[in-house]
A = this chain, B = another copy of it.
Amino acid sequence: MPGARLFLIGFSGAGKSAVGRRATALLGWEFADTDEAIVKADGRPIPRIFAEEGEAGFRRREQEALRGMLDRERVVVSTGGGLPLDAENRRLMESAGVVVALEARPETIEARLAAVPPDNARAEGMARPMLRPGQGESAVERIAALKRERQWAYALAAWTIQTDALSIEQAAHEAARAWRRLGAAALHGGDSHVAAVVVGGEAAYPIVVGWDFLEAQAGQRFIGAGLRGRAYLICDQNVLHPYGRLVQRSLTAAGVEAHLFTFPPGEESKSLSMAARVYEWLAEMRAERRDAIVAVGGGVAGDLAGFAAATYLRGMPVFHIPTTLTAMVDSSIGGKTAVDLGAGKNLVGAFHQPALVLADVSALTTLPPRELREGWAEALKHGLALDADLVEVYESQADMLLALEPELTTEVVARNAAVKARIVTQDERETGGVRTLLNYGHTIGHGIEAASGYGRYLHGEAVAIGMTGAARIGAAHGVTPPDVVERQQVLLERFGLPSTYDALDPAAILEAMTRDKKVSAGAVSWVLLDGVGSASIHRDVDVEMVREVVEGLRAG
């Protein structure tokens, strides 16, 4: 069974024991060592087992020791240097957890082994007899020769850490990072609620999607995701009942102390001054680094709570409980947090990946119609820019989706979460261009929001108008086929989304667009559709044509 287990393989002196113990502390797990387990079970020191039963007898005991460890969870296992040479041992480890190789050059290994005091228990291990140099052979040569024979097996690990230049602390961090990146997939394989796992540079986290399961599961899932301290829930006054209280009950029932902070609904709360009030509340409550911030609600709650979590005490864990469609399919996934400035939306923020995203799709039934509608904009965007199959679902099943049919809606939210998770996993910090594709419709959309002072248009509405503009720009630029423009238009209308704005000055929209974060060296990167489900980035778009399109989006 896959589980929370980290196996360290590698040559003697690669640091499996020291690094393993330190990584154990970082993960808050337990430590095990196959050599120690053999000696404990058998009573004889390893050289005697070797002497009396040969290598075969030792290897049999070694595999028994390894098997015995697979009952345990949350364990770091340091293995004997020869253990991964055996195919069955490798199969056991790979199916039970994540296998990480520690590497070091022969010279490093020689120096480390020479530094171990001779009465150290580890020095009694099996490595020493096999490492005794032959005639005319130096210790380094003997190590290099034996290591060379085994290197193929170490190379089959899922991750490798070259330890020569690292301190024990640094190597342990690398090992914990390997687990955080590779382990989540192993952990969540059998969980039908897990729509996707986002794998970032420092950690991985599951997106859990279900229908009406929040109160029953939130508490246990928080603990499962590692919460050991208190929970500080942040939601707006409209979300407090029922969801804020419901999550609080679920946490309390699971034995987690949970406190609530509420703020006035609306984009105006995504401000530095509201962040300051959150900070003051956290200070008053004596929040600690091991506690967690929990965002319950839509994009504003997620951005505000996420930014507070990224910055209070220089970083606390954050959990997301999205209750709007926009938050479920988009804003709760990917670690972007922000507050707005007068000069622009989301200008201040941080990348701060959550520990868990828990989306209860049944919450959509309590959303005001306009808020539900705007949420479809981001979901349509995922289809239009990245997933043609999803667009076909929107086209063929719009009625059931608009009626929030539980099973279909849950599946579509999960598929959207998976699209977003895939992109974020590929390009966590929006450095590679892939994540930029998610900004389809957002350049003009942000311009409209900024020019209208935020609030007149909901984010999704602005994005819908922005997608209409982007499609027209794409057509004029010669990349978006006319039938794609038309299919998008039909979809936006079917889901009740606007494609024009009124009573706004186009010049103000254009001016705000140039202040976007994605602007580099003064040039806007345009995300345009090549087809349905396929987008690409263009930096050579004619500014005059853009002006005409933006002017043409004005109603009437």
Contact = CB atoms under 8 A, between A and B. Distances in A.
A350 B164 contact: no
Contact of A169 (B152, B154, B286, B427): B427
Nearest to A518: B289
Contacts of A314: 336-338, 349-351, 517
Given A151-B151, A350-B350, A344 B103 contact: no
A312 interface: yes
Given A288-B520, A314-B349, A280 B342 contact: yes
Contact of A519 (B170, B283, B288, B515): B288
B343 A284 contact: yes
A48 interface: no
Contacts of A272: 272, 275-276, 279
Contact of A341 (B151, B283, B341): B283
Interface residues of A, number: 73
B158 A151 contact: no
Contacts of A366: none
A143 B280 CA distance: 61
Contacts of A289: 517, 520
Interface in A314-340: 314-315, 336-338
Interface in A282-300: 283-284, 286, 288-290
A485 to B, nearest CB: 30
B167 A426 contact: yes
A521 interface: yes
Interface in A503-524: 514-515, 517, 519-521
Contacts of A29: none
A408 interface: no
A311 B313 contact: no
A155 interface: yes
A192 interface: no
Contacts of A434: 169
B283 A515 contact: yes
A259 interface: no
A438 interface: no
A159 interface: yes
A276 B273 CA distance: 9
A173 interface: yes
Interface string A169-181: 1101100010000
A364 interface: no
A165 interface: yes
A294 to B, nearest CB: 19
Interface string A239-281: 0000000000000000000000000000000001001100110
A341 B521 CA distance: 36
B158 A155 contact: no
Nearest to A311: B348
Given A289-B517, A517-B314, A280 B158 contact: no
Contact of A312 (B199, B347, B519): B347
A162 interface: yes
Given A290-B520, A338-B314, A426-B170, A152 B160 contact: no
5 contacts: A160-B160, A169-B426, A279-B341, A286-B519, A313-B349
Interface of A: 22, 26, 103, 105, 144, 147-148, 151-152, 154-162, 164-165, 167, 169-170, 172-173, 177, 182, 199, 201-202, 229, 272, 275-276, 279-280, 283-284, 286, 288-290, 310-315, 336-338, 341-344, 347-351, 425-428, 431-432, 434, 514-515, 517, 519-521
Given A177-B201, A288-B519, 7 more contacts: A147-B152, A147-B155, A165-B182, A272-B272, A311-B348, A314-B337, A315-B351
